[in-house]
Chain A
């Protein structure tokens, strides 16, 4: 990779990080507040009556899922809103006229989404430590799952923004697809509580694998095999990154 390409990638990544840090009240504070409410309501108030789940207190059980929920939402919305705004204001043209390989455009935007997701992950983890002692079963698994999930949803946000023609288009997917899948993705319950049919249906939901993979990293328990989670994450990443590359290469949504 040439030095010029590296400088271009670094510039775009720094620009993306500067963007979400500049508007920290919109990007960093809300997840901290939302997750605190989840911990208070579901963890403390309701959780104390639920008792144990998967061999852990309900609060401990939901912590990995809540972190993952924040990571998914923020990596997705960061890239979808940033890329769509760049299209809307036409400053995407700054990148299109420059001698930047298309993969750098993808890496820069996705890298920005991943940076925000990791930062949010750290913030939510810190918030959760106010309510519960965190167990770490495997740090490498936590890091790998966190990275692959944030790359995956940042890329999905990018694809959404490429096709989007209005600001409504970038809110439709998070509202009608991402949120239901996340809530039904085993964040608040173990799949073993569901009847067999609904367990099977739940396993079609890819977010189940991410939440459970992440939970396995923290607690060492999971409703699905961790290798399945990892394999699925890798496959989804390859497919979505390949699709995003093909779209940018053809200039879909960005070139006339």
Chain B
């Protein structure tokens, strides 16, 4: 069964901005799904429509077996939302925020209090439970929003940049927590600008740009399409010129070499050539995250395609 089934979803805001252009998207039950795209691509609008914060212009969205139009109460009950912005009352205590949220979903107060203890403890917020939310650090506020979204025990959790502005230690602990709840059966849809986060957590991925899905596949097969990886080598001593046959390379400064290595080529070949020139390599690293490279390429090629299409249409219109 699909946890999310979107068909022909379109959103045109007042003033004519077309945020979504008839997108189709399926997310399988139990999946950990990444919805990626540059700023203004349509991610938050998609999430807004699914979670009833944005009115759609046309199209349909089904949450599990429920239609968002025909059975909104059932559909909404399945979703837990962690929005991008902090949207809780800063003057309420943590307990009030999470217990009230459970109440809005019809969870009795005594059950809500038990769940508040469970989730606030799991997210390491229990000690702060009686403090107003405004006293929390940024990372704690992010975790509070996750706890709040889980209070009605949803079948699907939507996380809109949940780790933005969070330090690496807390981010890693959040990843562990999210992996755990996904293993327990909760479907997770994640948007993030940290692409290593998506690569590490998600099994399937859709990339959206200018309101159009430009890629929708499994993370594995997407990464398999990456033909070239770029490595940065830190060299001992100073070098004004280097010769590497069979590779694209750039000497960034006298100590740093950047080399593009195709999938079928061996890194040993690079080292052998450097060694023969008596160049010692001190250390080596990837230029960027693999998914990041793919993301940039896909978005750029999607934009080129769109520009070409528009150009052709203009030419046809001008006769």
Which A residues lie at the B interface, using CB under 8 A?
A: 2-5, 7-8, 10-12, 15, 18, 22, 86, 89-91, 93-101, 251, 255-256
Tell me the smallest distance from the CB of B150 to a CB of chain A, in Å: 13
Residues from 11 to 27 in B contacting A, C-beta threshold 8 Å: 13
**A98/B108 in contact, CB under 8 A:** no
How many chain B residues touch A (CB < 8 A): the figure is 34
Which A residue sits closest to B107, measured CB to CB?
Answer: A7
B103 and A11: CB pair below 8 A? yes
Check B13–A97 contact: CB distance below 8 A: no
Choose one: B89, B106, B107; the contact of A91 (CB below 8 Å): B89
**Stretch in contact with the other chain, from B78-86, B206-214, B303-311:** B78-86
Contact B85 A255 (CB under 8 A): no
Whether B79 lies near A97 (C-beta < 8 A) is: yes
How far does the alpha carbon of A5 sit from the alpha carbon of B76 in the complex, in Å? 14
Task: Give the docked Cα–Cα distance between A188 and B83 (Å).
Answer: 51
Task: Select which of A89, A97, A256 is within 8 A of B89 by beta carbon.
Answer: A89
Q: Is B105 an interface residue (CB 8 A)?
A: yes
Say whether A98 contacts B100, CB under 8 Å: no
Known contacts A4-B106, A7-B103, A8-B103; A97 and B88 CB within 8 A of each other: no
Q: Which residue of the partner chain A has the closest CB to B103?
A: A11
Closest residue of chain A to B106 (Cβ to Cβ) is A4
Residues of chain B having any CB pair with chain A under 8 Å: 13, 45, 48, 51-55, 72-74, 76-77, 79, 81, 83, 85-91, 96, 100-101, 103-109, 148
Beyond the given pairs A15-B96, A97-B76, A97-B81, 5 more chain A to chain B contacts, judged by CB atoms under 8 angstroms and listed by A's residue number, are: A91-B88, A96-B52, A97-B79, A98-B76, A99-B74
B51, B52, B72, B103 pick with most chain A CB within 10 angstroms: B103
Q: Quick one: which of B53, B73, B86, B100 contacts A96, CB cutoff 8 A?
A: B53
List of A residues within 8 angstroms of B90 by Cβ: 89
Residues of B within 8 A of A96 (CB): 52-53
Instruction: Return the 8 tightest CB-CB contacts between A and B, nearest first.
Output: A4-B106, A11-B103, A98-B104, A90-B87, A99-B73, A99-B76, A256-B54, A97-B51
Bound form: Cα–Cα A94–B52 in Å: 11
Cα–Cα, bound, A29→B85 (Å): 35
- Which residues on the B side are within 8 Å of A3 (C-beta)? 106
CA distance A86 to B90 in the complex (A): 11
Q: Find the B residue at minimum CB distance from A7.
A: B106
CB-defined contacts of B81 to chain A, threshold 8 Å: 93, 97
Choose from B53, B83, B106 the contact partner of A256 (Cβ within 8 Å): B53
A94 close to B101 (CB less than 8 A): yes
Closest approach, in angstroms, between the C-beta of A32 and any C-beta of chain B? 23
Chain B residues within an 8 Å CB radius of A22: 91
CB of B87 within 8 A of CB of A93, answer yes
With a CB–CB cut-off of 8 A, which chain A residues contact B107?
7
